[in-house]
Structure 1
Amino acid sequence: MSWPLARWWLRGSTVLASGLGLQAVLAGSASAQALNAGSIETFSSTEMIGFSLVIGAISATLLSTLWLVRQRNGIEAESREIRSALSDANQRISRYQALIADKNRRIVIWDGGETKPEQLGQLPVETGAPQTEADFLAFGRWMKPGSAAELDNAIEKLRFNAQSFDLIVETYRDEVLEVQGRVSGGRAFARFVALNNLRAELAELKIEKTRLTTAIETFESLLESVEQPVWQRDSEGRLVWVNQAYSDAVEALTPDQAVQENREILNTITREKIRATLTPISPFHDTVSTVVHGNRTFFSVVDTKTPKGSCGMAIDVSREEALREELSRTLKSHAETLDHLATPVAIFDGERRLQFYNQAFQQLWDLDLAFLESRPDHAELLDRLRSAGKLPEQLSWKAWKENTLSVYRSIDTQTVLWHLPNGQTLRVIASAHPQGGATWVFENLTEQVDLETRYNTLVRVQGETIDHLSEGVAVFGPDGRIRLSNPAFRALWGITEAQAAPGTHIRAIEEACAPSYEKPDGWRAFGKMITSFEDERPSSQGTIELMSGLVLDYAVIPLPNAQTMLTFVNITDSVRAERALLEKNEALRKADELKNDFVQHISYELRSPLTNIIGFTDLLKSTAIGPLNPKQSEYVDHISTSSAVLLTIVNDILDLATVDAGIMRLTYSDIDLTDLLDDVSMQMTDRLQEGGVTLEILAAPHLGDIVADQQRLKQILIKIITNAVNFSPEGAKVVLKCWREEADFVFSVSDTGCGIPEDMLPSVFKRFSSNAKGGKRTGAGLGLSIVESFVHLHSGTVSINSVPDQGTTVLCRIPSGVLVHSVAAE
């Protein structure tokens, strides 16, 4: 609530309160009069209160109206006073703006925050300052970069840190402006003033002074940072200023100490020499020697005359002096080295006179030492050699000599061949010196030319040889480009001579050979091996088949100088023959598998009927179904014997089929060899009686035990003895010898039969191979084959030795196996 309204409210409240009090007084007075006078009509209290309120409200309204009229008059008076003051303020602002809006100044006012600044006044157009407000504040567009950057920094500090400033800035039109920054009443002001001639000149002098001061400080900072001693002297020759390098050289703590104590880096003689020879036109420049930190040091001293004295600099050239001495020693050593070279060398100076020659040069041309020591001219030397008949004959001697001596005017090294009359070939290398003169080197190529001739002859012979080879040959360089190829190579791959021309890249060869080979990866592999950067390049061989049906045997052979040779041999005929043999062998293998499958199947099919026949035969022999007459008994015996033989053959075939299938497993157990031999002799009793042969067993009383498959070992013994009985005459004796060799069981079976011919010995262990000649019985020829299979299953060996008409001996060795014991869990 404003102050006039509050004041009006207080006055109204007072008037209202006065009205209410007056009503109360009037009401009391009326009541008293009514009581005292005993009026005729009586008023109720409610009516009296309402009447009092109406009278009070009317009174308050009248009083408020009077107050409002009075207040309105006061407000109008105040308003007239304010309008008068506002008019006076506007007149003063107009006068101030007219005063500020001068063409020689401009004021920029910032009211804080990010509000747009207010700009008053203008600067002259010739200063280069923009007239628009937006362009004026872009100081970098119309002020020089240094002035614009300095002004932007000062204004930022003025606005945010209330830091005042006074600057002199330059525009791109080389006009000078004075800028003042101040803070007043929470606002920041920047006043730009275009200076008049005198003030502008003063400002320019200030700027120039600042520039010169900065340049001097920069120059002194630069001199302070250099490693060369620098000094300045007055007209009396006393030190005025030195840099840090000077104070370090004279072992002073600071440059000021070196100046105060007048510590000199140069000795007295050198300083006197400088003072005597120094002039404003010609400065002193010489190399002097002095001592720095206890070491002899060489300085290149430059001293210059100044209006108020002199200044100088000393550059350490100790390393250059050492290098100069080292160069001198190197040149001397170089000359001694050249003198011991076998290659003739001659050096001529800028005047084309002989400056140096080695012994090889003197021996090559056989020149007089006195003539060489006289330092002859090069043209004179050539004339001397020509007169002696040591130079090649020329059609135009003058032109040839001028061309030879043109190297002194050339910037490139010249290399020519001289074919001397004595048969020597020289390569002459002439190299001009940048400072004048030339070096001539005479390289004897006589042996090299001879070797090159022989090499070229060898290459041609080699090329002719390769061209007439039936093998395809191609040689590639390390860059993958072909060097040579023979006609056989091009014929095998069906490419032309142009497609395989020397220099053709292997990628192009690959594209040319692509129609002949359905696998382009092969040639890509060749290219990888040929262009490989490996230190060790292994050779590679293989076989590829072309789409034309040709089969090539290739070889990748690394050669010296990172070259690679590809060779291709046509092996189509041998491969076809090999494939035919492989196909025939595969057919035979399949036929053998079919035979084995057939035999195994038939064997299983025959075993059941044979078992029935044997069972019924045994039943007929028994008396359970009645007696048989002698003829019937004889026929039943024949049936029983034939059935037993056939069953033996079937069992043998099944055993061989099981061995071939790889499913036969031996059942190892501890076997008492004595019991085994007794069992075998008992089973062979009938067969021995039938053949009229006696079996003699020669064995030690205690052969011991062996770990083997008892059933298979018994089959081995029975089949070998049966085979011996079959080929032994009646009344003969078959001998079974048994003994132990360490853990092995060794036995032999010998007979005195007809023996086996030598040409049949290799096939006695083959299946279905039997020698019926001289035998009492003919069999399927499986006995010895089964023996060999069972012996090999025991990891043993079997061999046979026979002499025709004297007998046969079969020797077997059965090693003891390992019995696997199962351990029950405790």
Structure 2
Amino acid sequence: MDPSLALATVLLSVAAAALTTLALGHWPRRPGPAADPATEESETSFLFEGARLVDASGPASGLLETAEKRETDLLTLVCALKPRFPGLDTVFSPQSPAEVAAADAEDGGESRHVFPAHAPEDPARIELCRWEEFIRITLSQPVAEQPEDWECGFLRQENRALRQLLNKSPYPIWRQTSGGEITWANAAYLDLAAQQADIHPEDARGWPPVRLFSDISLDDGTPEGKACRVSLRLVGRKEEAWFECRSFAAGRESLHYAADASATVTAQRNLEHFVQTLTKTFAHLPIGLAIFDRGRRLALFNPAMGDLTGLPADFLSQRPTLDAVFDRLRESRMLPEPRNYAEWRRRITQAETESANGIYEETWSLPSGRTFRLTGRPHPDNAIAFLLEDISTEVSLTRHFRAELEISQSVLDTVEDAIAVFSEGGRLAFTNRAFAQLWFGADECALSEFTIFEASRIWREQCHPTPVWGDLREFAAAPTNRSEWEADIRMVDGRALRIVVSPLPGNATLVRFRAVDAAIPFVSARLNARRSRSA
């Protein structure tokens, strides 16, 4: 070994020892009279440089070894002592270097804090001294009341905290052997045992406790870490109490946790009952119903959906996706055959998007001649409900009715008289070609734009003055005492016409204009009626 390197190593060791001795000698001692042997105190000291432990007494090292490890040595010690000495962590709150220097300057370069124990009967205390980068923590308590060593005291304190934590837990927790014998249980488990036996909780504290969950055992096949539901029959409750239990191996024994799942089981049963009720209700509907959940899987369908689409029940019961259902419908030719596959996929995506955002409706004309109406509606929780209705009969009737109307219109167009039919409300309902040519010089007119008032105004503008138009409006508005009447009128271009007004069922009115060779003097039909009554 190089002599110079050995000399440097020795010098560094001596310097480190001298620095430690100097730091230990710099620790201030509290003045006071000589301690009485009856009240002599034992001190356990920790020296930190920053957050790193650089020196500690024998019991101190044992305490740190048993404490839960934290990010730094200082944080490990503070977290271990904080339950016994509250407020210890407040000294280490974040401060700026200027604030730390100012605080140290006020105390002559040192800062000292004393923390008494939380329990009044506990005489222990902690003295914390900080200077420059060093922190000394001294734990003092009478020798007469000191445990055999600090490690055992800390473990007892942690054991009390854990026992209190477990007994305050609202969930039953227990430990058992492979044979099912309970070796430990918390207060919630014992209270549950008392409730099952219908006895006072204090009477259920006997040992060993009653085994409540006899079906829970890792040796009997209970999966480790997975939740399994178990029911208990408790005194005073009509329904069974359900618990979700989780089991874990703990050496040769097993540790078990139980959480009350009665509310969850009841909600699931109510939901299943509700779904069954809906299914029975929808089973009698002639309209096919399919509800897809937020994942676009089939969640509910009724028998009509299978009857209309021909999809087998076993396929629908497998909860297929929306795309799978449409693909199956296309394969069975229950969808309109698209011009190309890309266009068909776009329409399916459009149906899904529009159904989620609002009401989507589309009519499917199938190659078989049947016609379906598909309606998509948004459902709670981002689900989609599709309604499939067979409207083949409705479409057939509509087409038949439309064909009859076209035939009737063709018949009217062959009549030479100009014909107009007004509904009960006075709106123009039907005309023929002769009517459009006579008054508009065209082959047809817009029916929705005219009422009896607009029509009479047009007729009055193209004819010589006559009271016929007022009588016509009164006739169309009269609910009763309607009988056919006629009168002659003359247009401004000299053509003579005879107007015939006839009542139709439903308070409709038929007006016919017939060309005559010569016009006769106009006499109001109502005036003639009054003259006949007076005569």
**TM-score category of the 2 structures, normalised to the smaller one:** 0.3 to 0.5
After TM superposition, the score normalised by the length of structure 1 is: 0.27
Higher relative contact order structure (alpha carbons within 8 Å, sequence separation ≥ 6): 2
Name the structure with the higher helix share: 1
After TM superposition, the score normalised by the length of structure 2 is: 0.40
